[in-house]
Chain A
Amino acid sequence: MLVKSSFNRKEKGNNNLTHNDINHHLVNIIFISIWVILLLLTIFNSSIQLRNIFIILLVLWTAVIPFFIIRDKKKFKYVLITPATLTLILVSLLPVGLVLILSFSDANLSIFQGGIRWVGLSNFKEILADYTARAAFRRTLLFVIYTVSGQMVFGLVLALLLNREIPGGGLLTSLLLIPIMSPPIILSLLWRNFFAYNVGLFNNILKIFGLGPIPFLTSRTPHIFSWLDKSVVSFFQLNYGFLSVVTMEIWHWTPFVGLILLAGLRSLPNNLYEAAKVDGASPIQSFRFITLPQLRPIIIIALTLRILDAFKVFEPIWALFGNSPLYRSLAVDIFSRAIRRHHFGTASVQAIFLLLSVLILSLLIMRFNRKEMN
């Protein structure tokens, strides 16, 4: 109400503009001083519960204040983006900045007593030389390659199969949505039961067919890869544990790719196919020469989303293997280093590597997409 009336007042005319201006300045001063008081109360408050209340008030006030202070109608658009921008700065940009700063320090638990030492680039050297960290990075890359290629292939098959008028098609697609939307940690724990050695579902099923239990969650090499050189096997992480996580991840996200590609398939113009049919093209030919090229942009989009997501993999590996160094992805290694061992400095370096891979990839793909659209 206050805002509305203030806007109306301004529209009425110029006769009492000076009077209004003074009012505005007064109001602004009051609003800003309330903000300062809230800020001071938040910082200098010993009671944690009270402080939390003040933080909430401060945040609310910060969000509301531009509406009252900025009354120029042309600047209204900036008022609208202020709350979101401030929040994004506070919860995204500042943390990333802090990670950059921390990577040059030897921060550990003593940081909470104010002790911090700057060590230059030695964290970077340490991480580059650290076997676990390097293995985690390689494992993450392999994980991205394995899972995303699997998801794309199966997702395309799924989309092609679903792309027709079928009874109950809507229900089928919503059933496919369930694994996409379910908590990854819960699904991973479920698959931990499937993979379990003695009591797991897969080994129980194998038992019915008289096949021996397979150690799904160990670092043993499957027999089909036993002819390969040991260094090759360990470089490509061809062990049961890693391949099990990869299988699970392919299962989890194939519907996602499938549904996105299905949306793409449904938007393809029908006349192309009719023309191809008239020209006597086989289904395989029309798939190869019409569907794939037409679907290219959306395939790239699905690919991007999956790659970016696969880089962040945490829950499946955490649920299946916990903190074990044999299976850590980059994210799990960061967690283990920072939260379990409180080596914030080196963990920050790893975080920067992860961030850079993801950001460079997204920027590259955005650029590529723009070219594609043009």
Chain B
Amino acid sequence: MRSRYSVLGYIAILILVFIWVLPIGWMILNSFRPNQEIVSGTFSSLTLTLDHYIDVLIGKHYIHYAFNSLVVAISTTIITVSVSILCAYSMARHNTGGKIYAITVLLTRAVPPAVRIIPFFIIFSLIGLTNTRLGLIIANLSFNLSLAIWLLTGFVKQIPKDIEEAARIDGCTQIQVLWKVIIPLALPGLATASILTFIYTWNEFIMAMVLANNVTSRTLPVAASLFATGYEINWGPLFAASTTIVAPVIIMTLLAQRRIIGGLTMGAVKG
């Protein structure tokens, strides 16, 4: 009775998980199929081709957009993590700013991107930051900073105070304590914050569409959305482009599964 139940349960889990895996698998599979096969709805014939990838990679500045995405995501990650570890250390150890500061930091995360696009659009247009990667990096800081601070505060709080005090007694200055004790011990937290920031920035769409919508500054998600304008959608190249955008995310997710789940649930438990 018991074993049959668990076999049934296992099958149920497999089916459920496939509900979430199949659509993405379908996208990846179809990025290798010719357009007629994608739209025809025949599931019998299966011709595999790399045409769509060649199309995407050669035309439409794809490489440049990928470069933009990468630059924006990496710069945002570096700035976010380096700024927030300082703040998180100060908040975790000295309770700087008290509860009000902590709640303010948390609430800035709740500000929806749709609210931010109005002032960002106006200010960036006035000072000439629209359609630049720099502007997009600044805009992306706004979402990620408070999450990173929040995550890292939790991580720093877990580091035992004794280690820090021992280092102080051994003659470390405050900066040395931070650099030689806290940062090495908070490395798992830094990794989590970096991964989450990178992926969120890589995925970010609305800011990128508003603030960086020309050939020189466009990022990949916006470029992909352009495949779907108009009535006739060219599904093959869209799927190929989508696959290249999702691929790094999937790889990072599978490699850093533990950290991401930890980060998500930790943000949840504290939030």
Contacts and interface: CB of A to CB of B under 8 A. Distances in A.
Interface in B124-170: 125-129, 132, 134, 138-139, 141-142, 145-146, 149
Smallest CB-CB A-B distances: 9 pairs: A204-B41, A331-B114, A84-B87, A95-B119, A199-B39, A183-B203, A174-B257, A80-B90, A91-B142
A243 interface: no
A173 B16 CA distance: 11
Interface in A208-262: 251, 254-256, 259-260
16 contacts: A55-B134, A80-B89, A81-B86, A84-B84, A87-B141, A96-B115, A99-B115, A172-B14, A177-B257, A182-B249, A185-B225, A193-B233, A199-B39, A201-B41, A305-B268, A331-B206
A312 B109 CA distance: 12
B39 A344 contact: no
Interface stretch (B48-56, B100-108, B185-193): B100-108
A93 B246 CA distance: 32
Interface of B: 6, 9-10, 12-14, 16-17, 19-21, 23-24, 26-27, 38-41, 43, 83-84, 86-87, 89-91, 93-94, 96-97, 101, 103-108, 110-123, 125-129, 132, 134, 138-139, 141-142, 145-146, 149, 173-176, 178, 199, 202-203, 205-206, 210, 221, 224-225, 227-229, 233, 235, 238-239, 242, 245-246, 249-250, 252-254, 257, 260-261, 264-265, 268-269, 271
B173 A178 contact: no
A207 B41 contact: yes
A40 interface: no
A94 interface: yes
Interface stretch (A16-24, A26-34, A285-293, A346-354): A346-354
B117 to A, nearest CB: 7
B268 A260 contact: yes
Nearest to B86: A80
Contacts of A135: none
B242 A164 contact: no
Contact of A88 (B105, B229, B261): B105
Contact of A185 (B93, B116, B139, B205): B205
Interface of A: 3-4, 7-8, 48, 51-52, 55-56, 63, 67, 73, 76-78, 80-81, 83-85, 87-88, 90-96, 98-99, 102, 107, 111-112, 157-158, 161-162, 164, 166, 170, 172-187, 189-194, 196, 198-199, 201, 203-204, 207, 251, 254-256, 259-260, 263, 298, 301-302, 304-305, 308, 311-312, 314-315, 318-319, 322, 330-332, 334-335, 338-339, 344, 347-348, 351, 354-355, 358-359, 362-363, 366
Contact of A178 (B94, B97, B250): B250
Contacts of A87: 83, 141, 145
Q: Specify which of B14, B252, B264 lies most central, judged by the most chain A CB atoms within 10 Å of its CB.
A: B264
B39 to A, nearest CB: 4
A198 B94 CA distance: 62
B232 to A, nearest CB: 10
A80 B87 contact: yes
A112 B38 CA distance: 47
B164 to A, nearest CB: 13
A218 B139 CA distance: 34
A141 B106 CA distance: 23
B66 to A, nearest CB: 14
B112 A355 contact: yes
A1 to B, nearest CB: 11
Contacts of A175: 17, 20-21
B41 A78 contact: no
B129 A52 contact: yes
A182 B9 contact: no
B117 A186 contact: no
Given A85-B87, A175-B20, 5 more contacts: A4-B175, A90-B138, A190-B24, A260-B265, A339-B121
A254 B268 CA distance: 15
A161 B12 contact: yes
Contact of A190 (B116, B199, B242): B242
Q: Specify which of B116, B118, B229 lies most central, judged by the most chain A CB atoms within 10 Å of its CB.
A: B118
A314 B206 contact: yes
Contact of B114 (A185, A305, A314): A314
Q: Specify which of B97, B104, B260, B268 lies most central, judged by the most chain A CB atoms within 10 Å of its CB.
A: B268
